[in-house]
Amino acid sequence: MDPEKTTPGILRPDAERQEQIEGEGIFADTDKHKQDVAAGSVTNVDDFASDIVVDPIIEKRILRRLDASLAPLFCVLYFLSYLDRSNIGNAAVAGLSDQLELSGPQLSTSISVFYATYVSLIVPIVLAVRWLKTNRAVSVMLLSWSLVTIGTAFVRHYHSLIVCRLILGICEAGLFPCISLYITSIYNPREQGLRNAYLFGAASLSGMFGGLVATGITKISSAGTLRGWSWLYIIEGLVSICVVPWAYFGLPEFPAKSKRWTAEELETLERRELKRQEYMGNYEFDWSQVWSTFKDWRLYTGCAIQFFQDIILYGFTSFLPSIIKGGLGYDSLQAQYLGVPVYFLGGVALFSAALAGDRWGLRGTIIFVCDAFAVAGYIILLAVESPGVRYFACYLVAIALFCGPGLNETWIVNNTAPHYRRATALGMCQTLGNIAGVVAPQVYRQAPYRLGHWFSLGSVIMCMILIAIQIVYFRSENRRKEEMVRGERPDDRNDKSGEHNLNFRYVY
């Protein structure tokens, strides 16, 4: 097998078998696959014959239609989720800190406690998501956190704010893993980078528009006992409630069952699902898949990368208005406006990196390059006193801000199979990564935030070291499999399922 013709992250047929398939026509009989799946006799990706070919023209048409219906909803859901959890930074600048008489450490704690409940529920939800209807689960979560957001507008004490943040963490915990696994159930590995970018791109949009919205709302005159920051929570909560019907009807559990598809498209969707299962494996729950994931050292390096990347993400995004105001010397209104283009660049960098990653089959390499910009940015923030130059450094940090967490999530799911190994890895990655949401506010405590910048710089450097280790490992594993296929090396695998299949190629 030619290693350069092997698509990373997915099983591929050998050249001789591919010629046979193409000779039989694009719609080769797949009844045996259907019977195996229906009977539950398929237990791992080794049981699939890798002989399903999909018409690329019809497939592209299907992808365009799927993206047109799902991508906007993905973006809106995560936009609202991220906005409602992170708007405390804008609210603080808009008067929350003054009215509740919050000290710097109290504001940091208010941000951190959200993740205490958030991370505790991720793994249970991600393992249970196959038994939950995605549209129902997401709709309930959306309605719940919308009501909590509205309720936050009426807090008048520090302890009430803490309670609201804890409940908000419970309500939002399942959104990202639900949508992430939903994406893996519909899209193939080389299609997932861009679709996951929609989620983190929405976080970038929330940073951009959160600042603009906060700027506009702070100009609203007080109505009774409500100030501008209270209206910020009320308006954002009401907008989220309006999206609940869209979430309920816009996330079909099985898109192939929709009546909007032609017979030709339905046939192609069915073949895509069978081909996707070559990579995913079946959905039968098996505790051994869960335990084997916990014994894999790659889980912990991937989680560590996510943790350090999220240190940057949560520290920088939660405190960007305060960094610009207190750390760079601008006033509150300027701080809101100046944060918008920083987030815009972060979003552009994310989608550019995701498109390049999907096109070239790269994940870690692209994260490494983006992180190099962040290293330069933090060095400038620490070494230079000029506000203008330090503001420029924020743009350098923004290049890695969303690329790192977003592409690392995709990297993990691309290199893990079958389903419950992937679900466990994703859940642990989300859990340990979001612990950074507890840590980051504690190091960004007081302007000019030098401790936070030093900690973030160290985090980026650790990321680059761990990414380099994983790239070397995955490249060597791909070479080892090629040698086994060519008979140049004995087959010494103890586990032949999932990503350990000889035809599976790791992304790096």
Distance separating alpha carbons of residues 225 and 154, to the nearest angstrom: 9
What's the first-to-final CA gap in the chain, in angstroms?
A: 19
In a domain, 308, yes or no: yes
Tally helices (H) and strands (E) across the chain. 23, 0
Which residues, in sequence order, are CB contacts of 433 under 8 Å at separation 6+?
303, 306, 307, 309, 310, 405
For the stretch 206-227, what's the b/e string if a residue is b when 16 or more beta carbons lie within 10 angstroms of its beta carbon? bbbebbebbbebbeeeeeeeeb
**CA angle, residues 327, 328, 334, in degrees to nearest 5:** 115
In a domain, 453, yes or no: yes
Distance separating alpha carbons of residues 111 and 109, to the nearest angstrom: 5
| CATH value at residue 366 | 1.20.1250.20
Instruction: Name the β-bridge partners of 223.
Output: 226
**CA angle, residues 196, 403, 358, in degrees to nearest 5:** 55
- pLDDT at position 272 is 81
In a domain, 19, yes or no: no
In a domain, 17, yes or no: no
- Token readout for 427 is 């859940």
Distance separating alpha carbons of residues 168 and 145, to the nearest angstrom: 6
- pLDDT at position 279 is 56
In a domain, 266, yes or no: no
Which residues, in sequence order, are CB contacts of 9 under 8 Å at separation 6+?
189, 190, 279, 361, 414, 415, 504, 505, 506, 507
Do 320 and 207 contact (CB within 8 A), yes or no? yes
Instruction: Give the containing element (helix H, strand E) for 372.
Output: helix 364-383
- pLDDT at position 198 is 84
For the stretch 363-382, what's the b/e string if a residue is b when 16 or more beta carbons lie within 10 angstroms of its beta carbon? bbbbbbbbbebbbebbebbb
In a domain, 93, yes or no: yes
Phi, psi of 367 (to 5 degrees): -60, -45
Instruction: Name the β-bridge partners of 94.
Output: none
* Count of domains forming the chain: 1
- pLDDT at position 9 is 44
In a domain, 44, yes or no: no
Radius of gyration of the chain (CA): 24
In a domain, 28, yes or no: no
Which residues, in sequence order, are CB contacts of 125 under 8 Å at separation 6+?
173, 174, 177, 178, 427
Stretches where the chain sits below pLDDT 50 are 1-50
Domain assignment of residue 361, given as a range = 56-251+289-490
